[in-house]
Chain A
Amino acid sequence: MSMSHANPVDALKAIFNVSGVNLRVGATQVCHQLNLEIYPGETLAVLGKNGVGKSTLLSCLAGLPRGEMSGEVLLGGKTYGAWGAKAAACWRGWLPQKQQDQFSATVLETVISGRHPHLNRWAWESADDHALALTAIDAVGMTDFVGRDVLTLSGGERQRVAVATILTQQPTLYFMDEPLAHLDLNHQIEILDLVCQKAKRERVSAVMVLHEPGLAYRYCDSALLLFGEGEWLYGSASSVLTADNLSRLYGYPLVQIERPGANGGTQRWFVPA
């Protein structure tokens, strides 16, 4: 399998720039004058209370407009409009929070739909496309389910199929809305390992909505906290993910516990006081 990427990126230049973004949905101000940059290989965690607008912001950043948004979002230096739907889809992938299947389809058929933007209008999926899909299915441990109907899968199995689909799309920038939803602990770690190792190895980047600050600290380079009322805090994971900030974020006092992690690093876990 080729490791080369559809969009070779300059490692020193941000591939994603957000400047002066205001986002409002109904009565909720999600963010006010948000600025952030994402570099190749970087992973960013988005955290906040329920209903604060994490998913809405992620959709908007992924070029799927919601609510009233102003400001500039540049993917590889161009707006989504300038890219066009098909070209943008070769750059960025989006993992929705919920999978809404209405029709039967096999796991393989679902996963291989990730190749859609890479194929021209009349092309059928090639043997390479099938191989990519099967590799992704294997990476999420769903090889035994290749021929299964997605309507018969459990929530966690369906979620892993969705991850395989976005892997098959091979984007440069992954937007993942709660990639750990429905997953048990071992699969949570497996998926985060998969995405973050891929980021470091292939210089792709990921923005993930997460609910566990300890996992965000362990796996992400930077973090964006959404406090509500448009207030936000963005910076490196180690500077932003502290007991003080997170206690304020969730409105409940948290205690920070540090323990040594792999490769001489530190893990930071937060438990309710």
Chain B
Amino acid sequence: MAISLSVGSVALPLSEVMSGLLDPTSSSALLIHELRLPRTLAAFACGGLLALAGALMQVLLRNPLADPYILGISGGAGVGALVAIFFGLGVAALNGFAFAGALIAILIVFGLAHGDGSWTQTRLILTGVMVAAGCGALITMILSIAPEERLRGMLFWLMGDFSQGVSPTFAIIGLVLLGILAAPLARDLNVLIRGADTAKSLGVSVGFVRLSVYLLASLATAISVTTAGSVGFVGLVIPHLTRMLVGNDQRVLLPTAMLAGGIFLVLADTLARMLIAPQQLPVGVVTALIGVPVFLYLLNRTRYQ
């Protein structure tokens, strides 16, 4: 955290970071309070939210390779955000549009997958993947008709980016609230990953728990995407790595993954600011550059087990 505050296009020594944090009149106070602290907090909260969403999706779909975006939530948010950028709306409207887009995608997927009362993983995945594909097409369409000067903002948003003066409040509240709401379900989830019928025979109200998990994971994703765009790979890789370290007891896994996701994204964002300073990379590029090789390594490892 402190490193993330100290590193940037204007490097501050750690001692100055401390004095800047504590003393609002010092020279670096403005830089830290207005720019770096919100950004670091936002990165931490989004990383935690994405890791939580990923871990929950993996339980819901009973698939260790599920990620928070698999059900089209980021696609919906992307369409909303790009529409806002297309019309040159401000940051507040952009966030509003992105969140609304995510909520619409959540409702569409839920409505269609739940249509006849059955609620199988396959049906949910297929519906989600189709909605994501539809959103992908819309995004490409908007990108291709967008005016040149807006294109860069759109691409940065799609890659996930903390450089646009983000406000961490929404994401932090979301992280705390969703974390608290997920906690009482954790042991139910331990049973749910053994299959719906087994879970039911062990006393889990499967319908209620699945719906809760779907909503929690979707909201976590929507909040994160609204704050920082579609930062990839955190939600896939962090729950995976955490599971290898602490096992698959959700009561331990969920909080650990949230913490690890937050730290990972703060580090990734710090790198994004450092690598080609004074220019900045979208943080999604960094998480992908780390996430892809790690994930491929894990995939190969499991194959030979």
Interface set of A (CB-CB < 8 Å, partner B): 59, 62-64, 85-90, 92-94, 96, 100-106, 109-110, 113-114, 116-117, 119, 121-122, 124, 151-152, 169
Could you tell me the distance between the alpha carbons of A88 and B203 in the complex, rounded to whole angstroms? 7
Q: How many residues of B contact A (CB 8 A)?
A: 26
Q: Which residues of A contact B243 (CB under 8 A)?
A: 103-104
Give residues of chain B (169-210) contacting chain A, Cβ–Cβ below 8 Å: 184, 187-188, 190-191, 193-195, 197-198, 200-206
B residues adjacent to A (C-beta < 8 A): 62-64, 184, 187-188, 190-191, 193-195, 197-198, 200-206, 243, 247-249, 251, 305
14 A-B interface contacts by CB (under 8 A) = A85-B205, A86-B205, A92-B201, A100-B62, A102-B64, A104-B243, A109-B249, A110-B194, A113-B191, A116-B187, A121-B184, A124-B251, A152-B305, A169-B202
Q: Is the CB of B195 within 8 A of A100?
A: yes
How distant is A105 from chain B, measured CB to nearest CB, in Å?
6
Neighbouring B residues of A114 by C-beta, 8 Å: 202
For B195, list chain A residues within 8 Å (CB). Answer: 96, 100
Known contacts: A100-B194, A109-B249. The answer to whether A116 contacts B64 by CB under 8 A is no
What 20 new A-B contacts, CB under 8 Å, besides A94-B198, A110-B194, A113-B190?
A64-B200, A85-B203, A85-B204, A86-B203, A87-B203, A89-B202, A90-B203, A93-B201, A96-B197, A100-B195, A100-B198, A102-B63, A103-B193, A104-B243, A109-B248, A113-B194, A121-B184, A121-B187, A152-B305, A169-B202
Count contacts between A and B, CB distance < 8 Å. Answer: 76
B202 near A116: Cβ-Cβ < 8 Å = yes
- Chain A residues near B194 (CB, 8 Å)? 100-101, 110, 113
Given that A100-B194, A103-B193, A113-B194 are contacting pairs, would A94 and B64 also be in contact in the complex, using a CB cutoff of 8 Å? no
Distance in angstroms between the alpha carbons of A94 and B196 in the assembled complex: 12
How far, in Å, is B279 (CB) from chain A's closest CB? 41
The contact of B200 among A85, A90, A169, by CB within 8 Å, is A85
Q: How far apart are the CA atoms of A93 and B247 in the complex, in Å?
A: 26
* Cα–Cα, bound, A247→B101 (Å): 64
Do the beta carbons of A103 and B202 come within 8 Å of each other? no
Q: Find out whether the CB atom of B191 lies under 8 angstroms from the CB atom of A116.
A: yes
**Are A102 and B247 in touch, CB under 8 angstroms?**
no
Contacts of B203 in A (CB 8 A): 85-90, 116-117
Least Cβ distance of A143 to chain B in Å? Answer: 20
- Chain A positions within 8 Å of B184 at CB level: 121-122
Q: Which residues of A contact B249 (CB under 8 A)?
A: 109
A62 and B201 contacting across the interface, CB-CB below 8 Å:
yes
B184 → A minimal CB distance (Å): 5
Asked if A94 meets B197 with Cβ closer than 8 Å, knowing A89-B202, A102-B63, the reply is yes
